[in-house]
Structure 1
Amino acid sequence: MTAESPRMTVFDPDSGESQPKEALEALIARIEAEVGELQFPRFTKDDSLNLGLLLVELGKTRKLPIAIDITKGDQVLFHVALDGATPDNEHWIRAKQRTAARYEVPSLLVGLQGRLRGGRIEDQGWYDESTYAAHGGCFPLYVKGVGAVATVTVSGLPQQQDHDLVVEALREILTSMRTG
């Protein structure tokens, strides 16, 4: 007789329900692995355009109501709102982008690490929700040996889906850079 291993529950960052700490830790580990994996050999304005256009293609093909932004410092390298995106997405893009740029990790990871410490980062007195958002959808663009040089942000879907769409596009762009 063999014992079946219990299925790991997936952590839902949008849920207000109590969730297993192991599921939270597994999602944090997954995102930390993505940070290690998704490193560019370089990141140019042409690379920004290619990444932005890929996200547009994914969004249009799937009929996603998203806004997309790629920013380097104070310079917007790419920005578009697809059908269904709202003006609220602009606020979310900037707030998630500021969070990822400040901490140099994905915005989703900032929020999850706060939860791992027993709360929400948003509940800290110093955390200004009008400026920052610890919600998924913004991923720093890392160059090997340099660190974070820009950010790519998607807004319009539930935060985990925003994050996963960005990661999907980053994987595809990096694969094309390696084979091209």
Structure 2
Amino acid sequence: MSTESDILLVKKQELDLVLAEFDETVAFALGGAIRGRALAEELSLVVDIRTWDRQMFFAATAGTSSDNADWVRRKINTVRRFHRASYRMVLERGEVVFSPMSGADPVDFVIAGGGFPIRVKGAGIIGCLTISGLPGRIDHSVAVDAFCDHLGLDRATYTLPAE
């Protein structure tokens, strides 16, 4: 699959993976499912789920460090500012540092996969589900899989092909 096809699929993910509602119960269900998968598959990752004004779920599995939490912070800032999955930024721009002219200081923003916007029907993007610890494409896929499972959608329809 080409980069253009990947971008189109990520845009489809962003538009289709919309929650009817979002609250602490939904955050815990999504986060718990990701943590459960990480434990079952022995994945080293951090998961953070939040609205723009507060963190609603956080978990870290063995093999992660404070660096992962900082990557999460920077990915969240990128999703919040650009209103798109951080992996779409990778596909559109490459995994590069933001230029000084962008106003997105690399200390606070990063172009790396794993941040996915939480979109609620009728409200728009209200927060972010973010994964850090795996390669960016896989961080992104773990987030997408969690949304698919939560929404009862077929993962295969939304899965990026292996590179």
- Same topology, TM > 0.5: yes
In structure 2, give the amino acid aligned to 1:107.
S
How many residue pairs get matched?
152
How far 1:121 sits from its partner (Å)? Answer: 5.8
Q: Which moved more, 1:147-156 or 1:120-129?
A: 120-129
Partner residue, 1:149: 126
Q: Corresponding residue for 2:139? A: 162
Q: TM-score when scaled to structure 1?
A: 0.79
Partner in structure 1 of residue 72 of structure 2: 93
Superposition deviation, residue 59 in structure 1: 0.5
**Bigger Rg over Cα:** 1
- Contact residue 97 and residue 110 of structure 2 kept, 8 A: no
SS at the partner of 1:140?
A: strand
- How does the TM-score come out when normalised to structure 2? 0.87
Is 1:58 the counterpart of 2:37? The answer is yes
| 91-100 or 119-128, which deviates more | 119-128
> Is the 2:97–2:106 contact (alpha carbons within 8 Å) kept by the matching residues of 1?
no
Matching residue of 2:50: 71
The alpha carbon displacement at 1:122 in A equals 2.3
Consecutive unaligned residues in structure 1, runs of 5 or more = 1-7, 9-22
Q: Specify the alignment match of 1:81 in structure 2.
A: 60
State, as a whole percentage, how many aligned pairs show the same letter. 28
> Deviation at 1:24?
1.3
Cα RMSD, aligned residues only: 1.7
Which of 109, 123, 132 is residue 132 of structure 1 equivalent to?
109
Tell me, in whole angstroms, the C-alpha distance in 1 between the residues paired with 2:107 and 2:54: 21
SS of residue in 2 equivalent to 1:122: coil
Deviation at 1:120, TM superposition (A): 4.2
Q: Which runs of 5+ in 2 are unaligned?
A: 154-163
* CA distance, structure 2, for counterparts of residue 40 and residue 141 of structure 1: 8
Residues 61-111 of structure 1, C-alpha deviations (whole Å, 9 max, x = no match): 000010110111131100111111111101100000110111121111123
